[in-house]
Structure 1
Amino acid sequence: MDIDLIQISKNNNGSAAVAFMSYTNLSSILHPSLFNQTNDTVKTMMSAVISVTLPRTANQTLTTPVNFTMKHIAEIDPKGTLSCVYWKNTEWVEDGCSLLQTNNSHSVCSCVHLSTFALIMQTEALAGEDSDPVIDVLDTVAVAVGLVFLSLTLLTFALCHRNPRVTNTARINLCISLLLAHLLFLLTQKFLHNIRSQQLLCAVLAGMLHFFFLSAFVWMFIDAALLFISMKNLTKIRSNEKAGLLWKLLVVIGYAVPLFVVGVSAGVVPGGYGSERCWLKTGFLWSFLGPVAFILTANTILFICILIIIISTLTNMKSKSLKIKRPESEHRFIVSVALKTMIQFIILGCSWILGFFTQDSKALEIIFLFLNSQQGTFIFLVYCVLNQEVSHHRFYLSAMAN
């Protein structure tokens, strides 16, 4: 704070004092939405709330404006507008305050009077160019439907535990990670308006989302690797002592790897969590996109290898069926395997690759949202609903390890 206390003291018989206070929790009460300059924007508190008074000073007239340098508590949007405001009765107003200068971390405000001050940023409303109401509704509905089927899948696995296997364990943990990630994401976006102003809570939620989504991707990779092993060897991974040890090892890998990534990321860039969407800040996205890109590449390669094995095996089966004259039943089996193989592409998370290309295409964005919010639906369809339809085919049982 830069205040001309000497001049003020001259107006008060040579004596003057100033009290400066900073409130860390008051911004959640005096919400930035109470700044009503523009109605079609999102308002974000960009600083702590500060208060300045002249105690026991009769003449509080300021001969020169008071300047405040405030540290930003949120990430600046290049398209946003910063406003220096003070609290007047029941709202934030700008009267007598102006923004002198700003950079990525601090802003300087100037006011001609003393009061309770804050820095507020206005950005385009979410229903503007960066968001589509139809896509927002579709996203919410699709995620909710996916959550229902993830819950049904977990319930089915819990009730039908007569022959558990390592692959089922991987899918159970995949469903758990997806369920927690999508549920937390849905709740965070639903109450984003209230959460955004609480920086610590916003950062914690971003860290939890980072962990759960990374965990889901690690389990997708584990599922893809187990499926490839089953396809290549045409053998089941049975629930024996060796499988029990493998199960414990997979659980450690499935949760320790994302925890390690989140821990290192938070240690290297402590302020990387808590963007306007309560997600990772722009320069910190590498801590999520890097591991995800690696896993998607690996899963795509594994899926191509699995597809080659399936095509080769089905070709052999078709030639044998022609010799014994049973083409109809084998044709139905081939169609069933082909359908499940395409669905497996989504279950293994390969469809997340579309996320790198949705920026300029609404159609791709809708397809991306639908496919990846419905992973739980496809898992339920393949491993719960359609599981018994092909149980008499040794090839498919070996391929899917059911």
Structure 2
Amino acid sequence: MQPGLTNKTITTNNTELQIVSVGTNASLTAHTQLMSSDVLLDIDLLGIAQNNNGSASVVLMSYKNMQDVLHASLFKTENDTTKTMLSKVVSVILPKTQNKTLPSPINITFQHIKGPSDLIGEVSCVYWNISSWIEDGCQVSQTNTEHTVCTCVHLSTFALIMQTEISKSDPTLELLHTILVSIGLVFLTVAVVTFAICRFNPRVTNAARLNLCICLLLAHLLFLRTQNYLHLIKPHQVLCKVLSGVLHFLYLCCFVWMSMEALLLFSSVRKLRQVKPNDRAGPHWGYKLLIGYGVPLVIVAVSAGVMPDGYGSQQCWLKTDYGFIWSFLGPVCLILAGNIILFITIIVTLQSTLKEARSDVSKVKYTRVLLFKIMAQFVILGCPWILGMFTAKSKVLEFIFIILTSQQGTFIFLVHCLLNDEVRRQYKKWWQEFSPPEKDPSTTATTLALNDYVTTGTH
């Protein structure tokens, strides 16, 4: 025991107390630590003593069953979450002390009551204030699966509470989502291979559509695997945040490439009015890649810089706190509004071109078909995300949302591959090259007769 320092422990059926006092002749060189069975307190008791004529005492009181009385449901939050007490309730007291101002914050290390496998929610350091648990003045400084360190600027009665979002998932809908997304991924893969290998028309480049399919394929695949292994990913907060950031980037890329495809279509329609149109398909592919992936990257980087804690919800997606979800919905709504304006302008320009009849009829017909396909693609790829904002209030809307979003790849394959004459001819050509040649019936009969003759002659 150091000079001027006394330590006393008292244990009862319901509480465990540790009392530490310092006198005027104390010579401490570090913060004082008090320890119970599940809690460690780190406090600058010497600094407190210097503000109280050279002496001070601190009491760490650990309650064995107080968490059943001051239960976690008394922690009021804006989000509708399930609260679970993750530690014992403890009190830190400075008895017979006039100046209770802390020279530095205290650190309380709580041992978790729950096992590591149960730690799947957000941990909060709280203290008791009259009739409820609140967080003011306390924050989590370190945490892992076994313990959490809370840093507080005042003394009170403290505890550790875990928040878990209320599960509203339907096993039937989850199974349906997995099956439908898997089907969509198959068709997306076929579409990506088709756009990458085939060159259907020299007047049109498939760069925007190819990159759109690649981003959709990666986004749907990553989201599906994340949800399937959410119970393994969620305890690792850093991994969960990284995955939500990557998903944010990929889905934004999908909308930017969709918007770029509309811009390229608008450019093609304008060229129909030219006497000698230039068949170049928009800007260089390098600039397209810079826009298609650069714009989403900037949005994600700014979002992460402004609110890094906005990533990593219970589903490893964007959190809805403080409107952070609008870092995704905002750009999406802006892109959809811009596409609507573009399509209206394209339709007006195309009608005017048809009336003037100055352009090649086949080229006009081709552009009209392409306009229909891209507008239908816009509706299927874009509108379901607006519908997704209302799925929490209706199972029917959620069911429709799952069908539309999961079958985006199937739709792209049907419209841009299966309903395209040039692609069908290419598929037929591939089938003829890789399928076994059909045998001629007459040749087969002749061969069998010859074999029978040879066999008979040998006997």
Same fold per TM (> 0.5)?
A: yes
| 1:370 partner SS | helix
Residue 84 of structure 1 corresponds to 86
Residue 223 of structure 1 corresponds to 261
| 2:299 partner SS | helix
Contact 2:299 2:327 in 1 (8 A): yes
Q: Label 1:353 to 1:11 Cα distance change in 2 as closer, same or farther (>3 A).
A: closer
Q: How far is 1:365 from its partner? A: 2.4
Q: Distance in 1 between matches of 2:197 and 2:219?
A: 23
Q: How far is 1:250 from its partner? A: 1.0
Which ranges of structure 2 fall in alignment gaps of 5 or more residues?
11-16, 23-31, 42-58, 67-76, 88-110, 119-125, 141-145, 149-159, 425-459
| 2:317 partner SS | coil
Q: How far is 1:88 from its partner? A: 7.5
Contact 1:166 1:246 in 2 (8 A): no
Q: What letter matches 1:369 in structure 2?
A: I
Q: How far is 1:372 from its partner? A: 2.3
Q: Distance in 2 between matches of 1:244 and 1:337?
A: 16
Q: Distance in 1 between matches of 2:256 and 2:187?
A: 21
Q: Distance in 2 between matches of 1:265 and 1:89?
A: 33
Q: Distance in 1 between matches of 2:203 and 2:294?
A: 21
Which ranges of structure 1 fall in alignment gaps of 5 or more residues?
22-49, 54-61, 68-74, 109-115, 322-332, 392-402
Q: How far is 1:147 from its partner? A: 1.1
Deviations 1:328-348 (A, max 9, x none): xxxxx9x98897466334355
Q: Label 1:120 to 1:179 Cα distance change in 2 as closer, same or farther (>3 A).
A: farther
Q: Distance in 2 between matches of 1:316 and 1:92?
A: 71
Q: How does 1:249-260 map to 2 (within 5 A)?
A: 249-260=287-298
Residue 24 of structure 1 corresponds to none
Residue 193 of structure 2 corresponds to 155
Q: Distance in 2 between matches of 1:184 and 1:221?
A: 23
Instruction: Name the TM-score, length of structure 2 as normaliser.
Output: 0.56
Q: Distance in 2 between matches of 1:186 and 1:196?
A: 15
Q: Does 1:303 find its partner at 2:343?
A: yes
From 177, 182, 185, give the equivalent of 1:144: 182
Residue 429 of structure 2 corresponds to none
Q: Distance in 2 between matches of 1:264 and 1:379?
A: 31
Residue 289 of structure 1 corresponds to 329
Q: How does 1:188-207 map to 2 (within 5 A)?
A: 188-207=226-245
Q: Does 1:357 find its partner at 2:357?
A: no
Q: Label 1:169 to 1:338 Cα distance change in 2 as closer, same or farther (>3 A).
A: closer
Q: What letter matches 1:384 in structure 2?
A: C
Q: Distance in 2 between matches of 1:345 and 1:150?
A: 16
Q: How does 1:89-168 map to 2 (within 5 A)?
A: 100=128, 101-103=133-135, 106=138, 119=160, 121=162, 123=164, 126=167, 130-161=168-199, 167-168=205-206
Q: Label 1:7 to 1:148 Cα distance change in 2 as closer, same or farther (>3 A).
A: same
Q: How far is 1:19 from its partner? A: 7.7
Residue 271 of structure 1 corresponds to 309
Contact 1:349 1:372 in 2 (8 A): no
Q: Does 1:366 find its partner at 2:406?
A: no
Contact 2:234 2:316 in 1 (8 A): yes
Residue 70 of structure 1 corresponds to none
Q: How far is 1:156 from its partner? A: 0.8
| 1:279 partner SS | coil
**Structure ranking higher on relative contact order (CA contacts 8 Å, 6+ apart):** 1
| 2:9 partner SS | helix
Q: Label 1:90 to 1:228 Cα distance change in 2 as closer, same or farther (>3 A).
A: closer
| 1:6 partner SS | strand
Q: Label 1:117 to 1:170 Cα distance change in 2 as closer, same or farther (>3 A).
A: closer
Contact 1:147 1:183 in 2 (8 A): yes
Q: Label 1:123 to 1:380 Cα distance change in 2 as closer, same or farther (>3 A).
A: same
Contact 2:18 2:35 in 1 (8 A): no
Deviations 1:210-246 (A, max 9, x none): 111111111111011112222343388746xxx5852
Q: What letter matches 2:7 in structure 1?
A: I
Q: Label 1:104 to 1:199 Cα distance change in 2 as closer, same or farther (>3 A).
A: farther
Larger Rg: 2
| 2:7 partner SS | helix
Q: Label 1:374 to 1:90 Cα distance change in 2 as closer, same or farther (>3 A).
A: closer
Q: Label 1:192 to 1:311 Cα distance change in 2 as closer, same or farther (>3 A).
A: farther
Q: What letter matches 1:171 in structure 2?
A: R
Q: Distance in 1 between matches of 2:255 and 2:342?
A: 14
Of Structure 1 and Structure 2, which has the larger fraction of its residues in helix?
1
Contact 1:299 1:350 in 2 (8 A): no
Q: What letter matches 1:352 in structure 2?
A: W
Of Structure 1 and Structure 2, which has the larger fraction of its residues in strand?
2
Residue 8 of structure 2 corresponds to 7
| 2:162 partner SS | strand
From 62, 67, 86, give the equivalent of 1:65: 62
Q: Distance in 2 between matches of 1:261 and 1:374?
A: 27
Q: Label 1:233 to 1:104 Cα distance change in 2 as closer, same or farther (>3 A).
A: farther
Deviations 1:52-99 (A, max 9, x none): 49xxxxxxxx983279xxxxxxx9843321313456897899xxxx98
Q: Distance in 1 between matches of 2:6 and 2:240?
A: 39
Q: Distance in 1 between matches of 2:305 and 2:290?
A: 21
Instruction: Name the TM-score, length of structure 1 as normaliser.
Output: 0.63
Q: How far is 1:155 from its partner? A: 0.8
Q: Label 1:7 to 1:222 Cα distance change in 2 as closer, same or farther (>3 A).
A: same
Q: Label 1:104 to 1:336 Cα distance change in 2 as closer, same or farther (>3 A).
A: farther
Q: Label 1:147 to 1:104 Cα distance change in 2 as closer, same or farther (>3 A).
A: farther
Q: How far is 1:293 from its partner? A: 1.0
